[in-house]
Chain A
Amino acid sequence: MDSQAPRVTVEGFDGPLDLLLELVEEKKLDILTVRLGDLADEYLTRVRAMAALPADEVSAFLALASRLVLLKARSLLPSLEPVTEEEGESEEELRARLLEYAVVRERASALGARLRAGERAFHREGGTIELPPRGGEVDALASAWSRVLALAARHAEREGDIVAPAERYSVEQRTAEIEALVGAQERVTFATLLAEAPNVEFAVVTFIALLDLYRRGVIDLSQDELFGDILITWRQRASAQS
């Protein structure tokens, strides 16, 4: 690393203690015994190279620089009065701080090494299992399924038949058909009506026709149980008689 340009940028800003620690380490000095005042000149040289930094950040470096200069002055002139409280940090206090910071840096680099090694743990990512509601209509579901199977079986039987291209159903025509059928038989089930051509278009048209007949009061609709078959009964006769 170029010693003329301390690695101090606003981005990777490491502070005055970091700079001091770096000087100690570069010179291979022992934190426990080095006379910190001896580092004052070198420290100031480094700080001068930082003119580009914001003032409040430089001030922290200057505060430590002045501390170092004071320590140096004391070591050159031992006759000076002992450190007073107003003067602030003594050499031993600054040394303790530097020592503590050295340990922080050591630990940070140990953590950084773990991070780079990528040896991390993962927990199972959320998503509580959604349990179905208790005591559902299992029997109703089973019988509905068996009807679907029966319908599918009939459908399969018809697959061999020659199917005319896309038959179009009209609601009017279907309404008339159902009206005639229910009029003749009085009671018909929905399943019977669908059995003629089990496909979606036919089912939709049949259903709309039933709703229309019901709206006009021609038929009655009833369903005994959930998913059960729908019973269609003739009502026209009673009203016609009256």
Chain B
Amino acid sequence: MEATGIRSELANAIEAVLFVAEKPVGRGELARIVGGTPRVIESALAELGASYEGTGLRLQRSGDEWQIVTATEHASQVAAYLGADRLRLSAASLETLSVVAYRQPVTRAEVEAIRGVNCDQTIYTLASRRLIEERGRKEAPGRPILYGTTWEFLECFGLQSLDDLPRALSPEGQLLESAEATQGERA
């Protein structure tokens, strides 16, 4: 997209719909409403997202759904207007949340195996703060609940999508991440 500031009609139509939407809108629904193939919609969304650079808004994506959010740079002003409290989480809750975020969808037992402690309480806390939610059941004995992160999670941590999760800095972390990536490709 050139810096002419002129966007395509399609990107404008998508922006208008996302502006009034109360909840994230799926790509398929956008395609039905504004017309166009999913690929055309995808590129219009990319165009819209790029056009928000240097503005107070950002385009946020989770899976196949999109919504317009405020830029993290202006969090303090928006929080002051909304009277929003800052989210506080214990170290234990943060650990559980990071396992869910990087490994989703995961069961409670999987989180507990990694952390080596009971995670009942932290999972309950995170779910009640709507940072994680149920994502169906695992096809395994007992059909345990699978957990994944929510839109609120992306918003609270200022991530435009799960692709923006912070990458590991330590060598052992990078080692594990590349292992996870190959696992993800195989899955």
Contacts and interface: CB of A to CB of B under 8 A. Distances in A.
Nearest to A121: B69
B102 A107 contact: yes
Contacts of A112: 89, 91, 94
Contacts of A126: 22
Contacts, number: 138
B85 to A, nearest CB: 11
Interface in B72-111: 72-73, 75-76, 78-79, 82, 84, 86-92, 94-95, 97-99, 101-102
B116 A119 contact: no
B158 A121 contact: yes
A17 B97 contact: no
Contact of A114 (B95, B166, B169): B166
B interface residue count range (under 10 / 10 to 19 / 20 to 34 / 35 or more): 35 or more
Interface stretch (B2-10, B139-147, B170-178): B170-178
A106 B22 contact: no
Interface residues of A, number: 41
Interface of A: 11-18, 31-32, 60, 64, 97, 99-112, 114-115, 118-129
Interface of B: 19-20, 22, 58, 60, 67-73, 75-76, 78-79, 82, 84, 86-92, 94-95, 97-99, 101-102, 114-117, 151, 154-158, 160, 165-166, 168-170, 172-173, 175-177
